[in-house]
């Protein structure tokens, strides 16, 4: 259980403290504020604070004195235009802050997004909780053969159970020894040293804050089917939060980023020939086999067309 009774009480206290503000406020996001979305076996993600809304994007794009909004349809059209043409600065005018609990190996991927602010729970200063990630059996998957950095289908139930036993036993033993080494009445090892004995599936947590533009970059990369499952679940929740927070931006993002595809110069040439009625085979397409497959995947066709 990721949230203790005491923590729940602190969250509940935040959920009832209403304030009056003149700032742009998004009721759909207010209703999600502070409440954790539970993820993986002990993780969560919750929105702690936010700044701005769809109107703030429009206001910045127009550098206007008031809210800058006109008719809803005109605003949505402007947002679609900005998204399509990668005018990213107006989206930087909104900001969001999350509290996240996540396994260390996921945190190591996440932190690569440099355009963000982070405060992580310090294992030099504090003692970590006995919590480590164990996949569900259906996530215990084999190494992909086609994609060197991906996973294939789930292993059979017995093998998965064997894997989970190993992961559990190793993490448990490492944590036991972590506690033994830390014990102030026993060894009393420095926390900054003892932590090196923990496994990479140990949970950590942090406050993470970024702007709307960089949030979409994160979702674009991490909600992708090629992203590792264990970070994708966080990105998927962010995608839902995006819809609650800035619906017009989220629509444009789905249409022009997540649902879009980029075709290279060579692929465009093939498309042109085909649209003109010509039959084009890979061998005379000028594309490598891999690009040929990527083009068809983007079009939603099998490569054998």
Known binding-site positions: 89, 109-114, 120-124, 195, 211-213, 217, 222
Q: Which of residues 251-270 bind a copy of itself (CB under 8 A)?
A: 254-256, 258-268
Which is catalytic among the residues 84, 108, 145, 222? 222
Residue 222 designated active-site: yes
273 near a copy of itself, rule: CB under 8 A = no
HSE value, Cβ hemisphere, 13 Å, CA-based, for 106:
28
The least distance separating a copy of itself from the CB of residue 237, rounded to whole angstroms, comes to 18
Contact pick of 180, 278, 284, 303 for a copy of itself (by CB under 8 A): 180
In this structure, how many other beta carbons lie within 10 angstroms of the beta carbon of residue 183?
12
* 92-131 footprint of a copy of itself as x/- string (CB under 8 A): xx-x-x-x---xxx-xx--xx-x--xxxxxx-xx------
Q: Which of residues 70-89 bind a copy of itself (CB under 8 A)?
A: 77, 81, 84, 89
Q: Name the residue among 283, 115, 125 with its Cα closest to residue 210.
A: 115
Nearer CB in complex with a copy of itself: 48/236: 48
Nearer CB in complex with a copy of itself: 139/236: 139
Q: List own/partner pairs for 225-230 with CB under 8 A and 24 or more apart.
A: 226/147, 226/150, 228/106, 228/109, 228/151, 229/139, 229/151, 230/40, 230/103, 230/105, 230/106, 230/133, 230/135
Q: Name the residue among 112, 198, 300, 35 with its Cα closest to residue 189.
A: 198
Q: How many residues bind a copy of itself (CB under 8 A)?
A: 136
The least distance separating a copy of itself from the CB of residue 189, rounded to whole angstroms, comes to 6
HSE value, Cβ hemisphere, 13 Å, CA-based, for 270:
22
Q: State the distance between the two ends of the chain, measured CA to CA, in whole angstroms.
A: 50
Nearer CB in complex with a copy of itself: 247/266: 266
Q: Order across the sheet with 117-120: list the strands.
A: 37-39, 43-51, 95-103, 203-211, 117-120
The least distance separating a copy of itself from the CB of residue 235, rounded to whole angstroms, comes to 16
Q: Name the 3-class secondary structure at 105.
A: helix
The least distance separating a copy of itself from the CB of residue 75, rounded to whole angstroms, comes to 15
**DSSP letter (8 states) at residue 292:** H
The least distance separating a copy of itself from the CB of residue 54, rounded to whole angstroms, comes to 14
CA dist 204 and 218 (Å) reads 19
Q: What is the crossing angle of helices 229-245 and 212-222, to 10°? A: 140
192 near a copy of itself, rule: CB under 8 A = yes
Q: Which of residues 136-165 bind a copy of itself (CB under 8 A)?
A: 139-144, 148-152, 155, 159, 162-163
Contacts of 257 (CB under 8 A, 6+ apart): 83, 216, 220
Q: Which of residues 26-55 bind a copy of itself (CB under 8 A)?
A: 30, 33-34, 48-52
CA dist 63 and 78 (Å) reads 13
The least distance separating a copy of itself from the CB of residue 295, rounded to whole angstroms, comes to 11
Q: Which of residues 211-250 bind a copy of itself (CB under 8 A)?
A: 211, 228
Contact between residue 103 and residue 132 where contact means Cβ atoms under 8 Å apart: yes
63 near a copy of itself, rule: CB under 8 A = yes
Nearer CB in complex with a copy of itself: 68/236: 68
Kindly list the catalytic residues: 222
């Amino acid at each position: 259980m990721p949230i203790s009774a005491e923590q729940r009480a602190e969250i509940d206290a935040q959920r009832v403290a209403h304030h009056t503000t003149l700032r742009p406020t998004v009721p759909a996001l207010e209703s999600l504020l502070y409440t954790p979305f539970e993820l993986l076996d002990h993780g969560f993600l919750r929105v702690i604070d936010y700044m701005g809304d769809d109107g703030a994007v429009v206001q910045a794009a127009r550098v206007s004195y008031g809210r800058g909004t006109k008719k809803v349809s005109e605003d949505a059209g402007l947002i679609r235009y900005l998204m399509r043409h990668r005018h990213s600065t107006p989206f930087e005018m909104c900001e969001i802050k999350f509290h996240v609990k996540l396994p260390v190996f996921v945190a190591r991927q996440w932190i690569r997004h440099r355009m963000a602010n982070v405060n992580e729970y310090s294992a030099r200063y504090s003692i970590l909780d006995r919590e480590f990630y164990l996949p569900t059996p259906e996530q215990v998957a084999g190494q992909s053969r086609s994609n060197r950095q991906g996973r294939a289908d789930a292993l059979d139930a017995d093998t998965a159970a064997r894997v989970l036993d190993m992961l559990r036993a190793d993490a448990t033993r490492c944590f036991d020894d972590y506690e033994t080494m830390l014990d102030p009445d026993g060894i009393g090892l420095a926390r900054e040293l003892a932590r090196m004995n923990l496994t990479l599936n140990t949970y950590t947590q942090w406050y993470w804050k970024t702007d709307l533009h960089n949030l979409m970059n994160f979702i674009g990369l991490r909600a992708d089917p090629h992203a590792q499952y264990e970070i994708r679940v966080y990105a998927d929740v962010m995608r839902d939060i995006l819809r609650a927070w800035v619906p017009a931006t989220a629509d444009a993002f789905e249409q022009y980023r997540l649902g879009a595809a980029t075709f290279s110069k060579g692929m465009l040439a093939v498309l042109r020939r085909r649209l003109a009625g010509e039959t084009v085979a890979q061998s005379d397409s000028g594309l490598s086999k891999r690009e040929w497959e990527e083009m068809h995947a983007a079009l939603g066709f099998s490569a054998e067309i």
